[in-house]
Amino acid sequence: MNNTSPLADTPSSDAPALTPAFSPLYQQIKGLILQSLQSGEWKPGESIPSEMELAARYRVSQGTVRKAIDELASDNLLVRRQGKGTFVATHAEQHVQYRFLKLVPDQGDLDTEGPAQREIVDCKRLRATAEVARALALRTGDAVLQVRRVLSFGGVPTILEDLWLPGGPFKGLTAERLADYHGPMYALFETEFGVRMVRADEKIRAVLPDASQSELLKVPGSTPLLSVERVAYTYNDTPMELRRGFYRTDSHHYHNALN
């Protein structure tokens, strides 16, 4: 990162009049920190410089840096650890693992239920349909990777997921690689492919399963499923995954805490 462009907490007397495009100084610092995260200067799990060091780097007050870091922590991009500093959040961390998994058991919780048993049904490269290309900001016919997997809890198939990933960033991803990795899928993406999912948009509706979905989830075709379609984004709102999940809700429910 270039350290030669100073920023000041107090604008000069000849500064231009504020316009609707103006952003507060801490937001500008937040943007600079995001640039460093995106470039990989600080990788998931690593600590970032102290507030004092960042204040000197950007030539602003510690309070301005602290406010920028507070927002990034609220966005789950950074994690503060008392007495240790601030670290880049990683999907390998327990509290982050469940950020995008909203299906919880009716009895107990995700911690008591334990990790899902995962079965990779399919993993293949193909050409993006118009619908997939639109979701991933690709062109129709571009290479994508399609993954189908089943997540079971206590031996009961509970979630069927279809994923589409852009072919370029995920070159080398195979069914064997997915099956051999025992951590969260998003942790695999960030550690082995340098792709960190930072936010997601979801659409939820109730559907009836088709024949293949009924077979994989071991339910009759008349069983209603919860369909969750998600587009996950990395930095700069770049879409990196289209995921369609079909959830059984006879022993689980969708839970979302709204702040």
Whether 134 and 211 map to the same domain: the answer is yes
β-sheet bridge partners, residue 230: 202, 243
Q: What CA dihedral angle connects 156, 159, 162 and 165, to 10 degrees?
A: -110
Q: Return averaged pLDDT per consecutive 10 residues of the chain, 259 residues in all.
A: 47 46 83 87 87 92 93 86 86 52 74 80 96 97 96 91 96 92 87 88 94 96 94 92 93 75
Cβ pair 246, 221 in contact under 8 A:
no
Cβ pair 161, 149 in contact under 8 A:
yes
Indicate the residue among 88, 120, 143 that finishes a domain. Answer: 88
Indicate the residue among 46, 66, 88 that finishes a domain. Answer: 88
Cβ pair 174, 188 in contact under 8 A:
no
State the CATH number of the domain containing residue 203.
Answer: 3.40.1410.10
Give the total number of structural domains in the chain. 2
Confidence at residue 50, expressed as pLDDT on a 0 to 100 scale? 92
Confidence at residue 21, expressed as pLDDT on a 0 to 100 scale? 54
Which residue range is the domain that position 53 belongs to? 25-88
Whether 233 and 140 map to the same domain: the answer is yes
Confidence at residue 135, expressed as pLDDT on a 0 to 100 scale? 97
Confidence at residue 4, expressed as pLDDT on a 0 to 100 scale? 40
Rounded to two decimals, the pTM is 0.74
Whether 114 and 231 map to the same domain: the answer is yes
pLDDT of 160-187, one tens digit each?
A: 999 999 999 999 999 999 999 888 888 8
